[in-house]
Amino acid sequence: MAEISKTYENDFDSLTYAKNYVSTGKKEYQWYAEDFYHHLFKSVNNMENQSLIDVGCGPALRAPLIASRYGCRVYCADISKQNRDFLQNWLKNGHEAYDFTDQFKYVAQLEGKNDIEYLEERVKKSVKEVVFCNILAENPLHPLPFEQFDVVTSSLLLECFPNEEDYLKGAEGLASLIRPGGFLAFTSTLGGTKYIVGDHVLPLSSVDAGKATRAFTRAGLKVLQINQHFKETTRELSDIIVTSSRVRHQAMSITLLTKDIMTDDSKSALVSFIKCVDFAAKKHKTQRRKDPERTPYINHPIGVAKFLVDCKVYDPVVLEAAILHDTVEDTDTTFDEIEREFGEKIANIVYEVSDDKTLSKEQRKEMQIELAKDASTEAKLVKLADKLYNLKDLLRVTPVGWSPQRVQEYFVWAGKVVDNLRGTNAELEAELDEVFKKFRMISMEN
């Protein structure tokens, strides 16, 4: 695989490829891929504002062009520097930037629009970054931090891995980028034997639906739908796939390769989480929040867990600790009971985030500030989400019996706690910064 990567680096001509296979010339596959993504994304519930990474994008816009219609946050990813530079130059309106007008015209026709300039600006707004990606690496996005996405797309990628082991590892690399509950949309060609990069003839993996299904199933995905498209052509498909002069050219799309979250481990985690929510709901059943609506108290720990998920914290231990974080402090629950029902690790996190009720209120507040900086990462995450929920609630409505001064004092104190928790989760901290900013603006207006 290293030799193939070096060949791409030295000899792959992004401009020649784009001219021949993206906008003009032999563009049947380009149109096929765009048709596929157009119809797929239309059929997906809640496609709006999802994060999407197009892996092995090459010097082309396939899924990103279609995904931009839904306001997706798109990342174009490729191992080849010249392909990344090619797209980056277009995004920045650089010197001799490539003209994708043919693509925009085709997609405009699919969408029933005719404003080509609007489509181009829409895509440029949607694409957030062009990044390096090597799906055979432990962290495919290195040197960037590892990240997962709601949607992963890939076209004409795994065929380049003729070695069976690399093909399977490549499928696992793609799967690793999918966020739980997300999906992979994958398109490929079938039946080829080799392709050309510069003066090099490279072997092409012999892919069929069965092989792809086995590879992705092994990677922990569930294949929901496979489409195969057959087109007879009398033209030799040289430069990409070298075959006989008359072939039955095949393209394949595997739609909605979703993470199978119902493995034995995930079933166990789901059962434990539901048990945890049920436990907390029973413990808090007579309690209400202090807002004028007297909201059921259980809304708070559930909301804390939701903020964690919104900020990409998926560790079941952290989420269960978030659900349970007030049970010892505010009900008759004991730490021994938590450990017996949910394990020592969760009990320890709940212990870290619980106040010592034998201390005065002022002492408890000081202890929260002091202990925050030395808390475990898991406890810090729960504390950040807890503060975020409470502060957002204070912006929404003033608790019964609270004066403006008490609200002000709570924000000041919470800010000190949060300062000692920083460096734990950038998204939670950014949300908190926004809340503090809004409160300062409201205070200035009053």
**Residues with catalytic roles:** 329-330
Distances (CA, A) of 416 to 34, 147, 370, 397, 411: 51, 30, 9, 22, 9
CB 125 within 8 A of CB 167: no
Beta partners for residue 252, in sequence order:
188, 228
CB contact set of 124 (below 8 Å; sequence gap of 6+): 91
**Euclidean distance between CA atoms 311 and 306, whole angstroms:** 9
CB contact set of 135 (below 8 Å; sequence gap of 6+): 55, 56, 157, 169, 170, 173, 174, 177
CB 171 within 8 A of CB 215: yes
**Euclidean distance between CA atoms 58 and 195, whole angstroms:** 15
- Asked if omega into 143 is within 30° of 0 (cis), the reply is yes
Distances (CA, A) of 78 to 134, 190, 217, 256: 7, 22, 24, 22
Angle at 315 between CA 309 and CA 318, to 5 degrees: 85
CB 289 within 8 A of CB 278: no
